[in-house]
Amino acid sequence: MEESPVQSVSEPSGAVAEPVVAPGSNNAAAELDVIRQRVAGCTRCAELASTRTQTVFGTGNPQARLVMLGEAPGADEDRQGEPFVGRAGQLLTKILEACTLQREDVYILNILKCRPPGNRNPLPDEAANCREYLDAQLAIIQPEYICCMGAVAARNLLEVDTSIGKMRGKFYRYNDIKVLCTYHPAYLLRNPSAKRQVWEDMQFLMAEMGIELPEK
Ligand code: URA
């Protein structure tokens, strides 16, 4: 893992040396916790706030180089309070492992922090209400890369209306972050033949990140 970017400045004798905390430093975990608490009490979407068991903020390395962005919590995530812990999540864990990554190496989050009832797609107003939280998370983590999993993540983040199939295979930019789009793990559970394409996307992403993959 990278060295901590927390730096100290030496002061003339007598002065108290204040640590200079670089953005994206160890403070990131504490800063994320502040946002996490705001999210936990959020009632912006009346329906979601009244039907959720709990909010699902995100998990992983607060200083991750790579953020994995999904759509919204499902039933398992709503129960456990952690993103991607159901069947799709188990597949995501395997995809990451194939890339020599553990869940703890990346940061995993969603467009929405609440489960839409019946797992319906997020409504535009809900995504807009939650956007401030997503942007705050990204501003704290300062990832170099975002991998959008599925059309809902890709279209909402990048504010486009393109199909996920057309968005694959090239990098987009969100602020200073390079964004790659691929299929959602839940789609792979229904369409296992698309795993090959996701593997190609992940190889492309790992090559760009300078992460060497073992020969298969
Ligand atoms: N699907 C998502 O998009 N996010 C989750 O957290 C779980 C399933």
106-117 pLDDT, tens digit each: 999 999 999 999
Domain that holds residue 104: 27-209
Residue 68 falls within a domain, yes or no? yes
**Three state DSSP letters for 20-69:** ECCCCCCHHHHHHHHHHHHHHCCCCCHHHHHHCCCCCCCEECCCCCEEEE
Residue 7 lies in a domain: no
Q: Which atom of ligand 1 is nearest to the CA of 76?
A: 7
- Ligand 1 closest atom vs CA 149: 3
pLDDT tens for residues 86-108? 999 999 999 999 999 999 999 99
- Our answer on whether the CB atom of 77 is closer than 6 Å to any ligand 1 atom is yes
Beta carbons within 8 Å of 116's beta carbon, 6+ residues apart: 48, 72, 122, 123, 126
What is the distance in A from the centroid of ligand 1 to the CA of 5? 31
Q: Ligand 1 centre and the CA of 83: distance in Å?
A: 6
Query: What are residue 207's DSSP bridge partners?
Result: none
Q: Ligand 1 centre and the CA of 71: distance in Å? A: 6
Q: Is residue 136 part of a domain?
A: yes
Indicate if the pLDDT at residue 1 is higher than 70.
Answer: no
Residue 109 Cα to ligand 1 midpoint, Å, equals 8
Residue 147 has pLDDT above 80, yes or no: yes
Please count the structural domains in the chain. 1
Report the pLDDT value the prediction gives residue 204, as an integer from 0 to 100: 98
pLDDT of residue 181: 98
Residue-averaged pLDDT of the chain: 91
CB of 55 within 6 A of ligand 1: the answer is no
Q: How far is the CA of 69 from the centre of ligand 1 (A)?
A: 9
Say if ligand 1 is within 6 A of residue 83 CB. yes
Residue 177: pLDDT over 50 = yes
Beta bridge partners of 108: 59, 68
Residue 215 in any domain: the answer is no
Task: Let me know if residue 4 belongs to a domain.
Answer: no
* In a domain? residue 214: no
Q: Which pLDDT tens digit goes with each residue over 5-44?
A: 322 333 333 344 444 445 545 799 999 999 999 999 999 9
Q: Is ligand 1 within 6 A of the CB of residue 185?
A: no
CA–CA gap between residue 111 and residue 109 (Å, rounded): 7
**How many CA atoms lie less than 13 Å away from 74 in the CB half-sphere?**
10
pLDDT reported for residue 215: 82
Q: What pLDDT does residue 16 have?
A: 43
Does residue 62 register a pLDDT over 90?
A: yes
Q: What does the pLDDT read at residue 25? A: 52
| The pLDDT value given to residue 29 | 98
Pocket of ligand 1, candidates 71, 87, 92: which has the most ligand atoms within 8 Å of its Cβ, to mutate?
A: 71
14 found inside a domain? no
Domain CATH for 156 = 3.40.470.10
The answer to the question of residue 64 being in a domain is yes
pTM reported for the whole predicted model: 0.88
